[in-house]
Copies of this chain bind each other. A is one copy, B any other.
Amino acid sequence: MFSAQCPSRSILDRITSRWGVLVLAALRGRVLRFSELRRTVEGVSEKMLAQTLQTLEREGFVRRTAYPVVPPRVEYALTPLGEEAAGLVVGFVQWAEQKAPEVLRARADYDARHR
């Protein structure tokens, strides 16, 4: 079907990465500045936010717009492709949230049987 190192695998990795998911979700349908993203995506370090945004921009999911003013003003938004990806990710998350009780039960079960 597809192996561990092929284009689509790397695309998945970006999208489903720890911060990639959160950034995509945060940018759905709106435009945010760097510091706004930093506040919205709780727990992200500056380094990882910058890195994540760069990667997402490179993959064509995020559009970065820098205004030549001082102090600097940079805005981030999703491209159409990015909106699509974000939609998929959010769908996935909602599925996971819906199934969370079932998974937690399975875990408790497993732990009880394998103690």
Interface residues of A, Cβ cutoff 8 Å to B = 1-5, 7-9, 11-12, 15-16, 18-19, 21-22, 25-26, 42-44, 57-60, 81, 84, 88, 90, 92-93, 95-97, 99-100, 102-107, 109-111
Q: Cα distance A107–B7 when bound, in Å?
A: 12
Q: How many copies does the complex hold?
A: 2
Given A25-B1, A57-B110, A60-B107, decide whether A88 and B97 contact each other with a Cβ distance below 8 A.
no
CA distance A92 to B43 in the complex (A): 27
By beta carbon, the residue of chain B nearest A60 is B106
B92→A88 contact, CB < 8 A: yes
With A3-B22, A8-B97, A9-B21 given, name 12 new contacts (CB 8 A): A2-B93, A4-B44, A8-B96, A12-B93, A12-B96, A16-B16, A58-B106, A60-B109, A81-B99, A81-B103, A81-B106, A84-B99
